[in-house]
Amino acid sequence: MAVNLYDSAYELEKAVRESDEYNALKQAYDDVNADPSAKTMFENFRNIQMELQQKQMMGQDITQEEVEQAQKTVALVQQHEQISKLMEAEQRMSMMIAEMNKIIMKPLEELYGAAE
């Protein structure tokens, strides 16, 4: 019997959408977006994060000033209860996806051997 991997992927997508982790993330995201000050603060944090990631991917140096600004922003958003909850929910979701990725990649890992 042939397995349609796309059907399985869509089933997995549905399971993710129905998971407690996803629903907690969605609720936390909605809560942040419902509060204008939290939304602005979170968007600022994301913009700084994306700018630094782009610089790294392009091989550009990140200045000490940029590092300090990012650290200040992280400290600020972590003090905001709604944003902190969102970041925790993102972390849990990220861990779940990483675990699923390990499971999905297991056949290839067994075939080629684990990277050491």
Structure token digits, residue 97: 């996806």
Q: Tokens 């042939």 appear where? A: 2
Interval 58-115: pLDDT, tens: 999 888 898 898 899 889 898 999 999 999 999 999 999 999 999 999 999 999 986 5
Closest CA to 28 of 100, 75, 71, 84: 84
Choose among 20, 32, 10, 15: nearest CA to 85.
Answer: 32
Q: Which domains does the chain have, with CATH numbers?
A: 5-112 (1.20.1500.10)
In this prediction, residue 39 carries a pLDDT of 96
